Amino acid sequence: MPPDLLELSAFVSVARAGGFRDGARLSGVSASGLSQAVRRLEARLGVRLLNRTTRSVAMTEAGERLFERLVPALNEVETALDVVNAFRDRPAGTLRLNVPSHVSRLILPAIVSPFLKAFPDIRMEVTVEDGFVDVLAAGCDAGIRYDERLEQDMIAVPIGPRMQRVATAASPAYLAVRGRPMHPQDLLSHACLRGRFAGGATPVWEFERAGEVVRVDPIGLLTVRQTAALDLAVDAAVAGLGVIQLFEEWLRPGLDSGALEPVLEPWWQSFQGPFLYYPGRRLMPAPLRAFVDFIRI
């Protein structure tokens, strides 16, 4: 007897979450129910799909192969079932988004709450990842990224502010003691609060004025992982430990309150805001269609 959709969905939930407890939260099925479904699936197929220990769950090679093929197939099944939404008074279902962490913090809060209030039959799942992701392979309906990270065959819809800036700032106390930088190169003699990517690289600071671009690699008095611990760096800047460079929206509360002062503002770089992107080769699920229409208003 071939496996049923519940067993296949259970396997995908556990594999995607990396465990039965997290899979239960993702799927709304109990951990014991997922475990039983996966065991039935393995028994039907006659092969182990997951290696289980007391601390972790990992896919076997067979499980990885099955997972790669199942995720897009189950997405297509869900899309096919979504056709019935056209016969409902209002759209229903689950909208799954993959977004970078600064988007989840700076842009989505102003959008998600009013959207879910306007469409009470829609549920939303947001996965936060800072690298570029194949949204279909990740089991998501759409992602949010900036223009340089988009694939050419994706449909892209603007979301959030259309122009953003990278701001540089320091506390009044720090500037009173160390002086105010007048040119980006002056930062080489200042204490700076840096961010580091997950892969280990520490990005240089970029500035631009009247077509002149200046890149500096200042000393990092404090270095934190990008986005994961940036609040710690902001707190350190407010406490007077150094100069920080970050999205203007992230620093705006401190700038508005006076806890931080702009540094080298004529040199702040501007860039285009993010886009919601999704593949255009498939029927758009009703929750995604509703979300796209909502952000276009």
Question: Left, alpha or beta for 240 (phi > 0: left; psi -120 to 50: alpha)?
Answer: left
pLDDT digits (tens, 9 = 90+) for 78-107: 777 666 666 566 788 889 999 988 899 899
In this predicted structure, the answer to whether residue 194 has a pLDDT above a threshold of 60 is yes
Please tell me the least confidently modeled range out of 38-47, 146-155, 185-194: 146-155
Mean model confidence pLDDT for the chain: 87
Q: Which residue type sits at 58?
A: A
pLDDT digits (tens, 9 = 90+) for 263-283: 999 999 999 999 999 887 556
174 pLDDT band, cuts 50/70/90, is very high
249 pLDDT band, cuts 50/70/90, is very high
Question: Token pair for residue 191?
Answer: 């204490």
In this predicted structure, the answer to whether residue 128 has a pLDDT above a threshold of 90 is no
In this predicted structure, the answer to whether residue 257 has a pLDDT above a threshold of 90 is yes
Angle between helices 61-81 and 5-17 (to 10 degrees): 120
In this predicted structure, the answer to whether residue 256 has a pLDDT above a threshold of 60 is yes
Give me the pLDDT at residue 110, please. Answer: 93
The C-alpha atoms of residue 104 and residue 211 are separated, in whole angstroms, by: 32
For residue 19, the tally of other CB atoms under 10 A from its CB is 19
The C-alpha atoms of residue 290 and residue 297 are separated, in whole angstroms, by: 11
Give me the pLDDT at residue 152, please. Answer: 66
Please tell me the least confidently modeled range out of 53-67, 92-106, 148-162, 193-207: 148-162
Domains of the chain: 5-83 (1.10.10.10), 94-162+273-296 (3.40.190.10), 163-272 (3.40.190.290)
For residue 114, the tally of other CB atoms under 10 A from its CB is 10
Average pLDDT over residues 116-122: 94
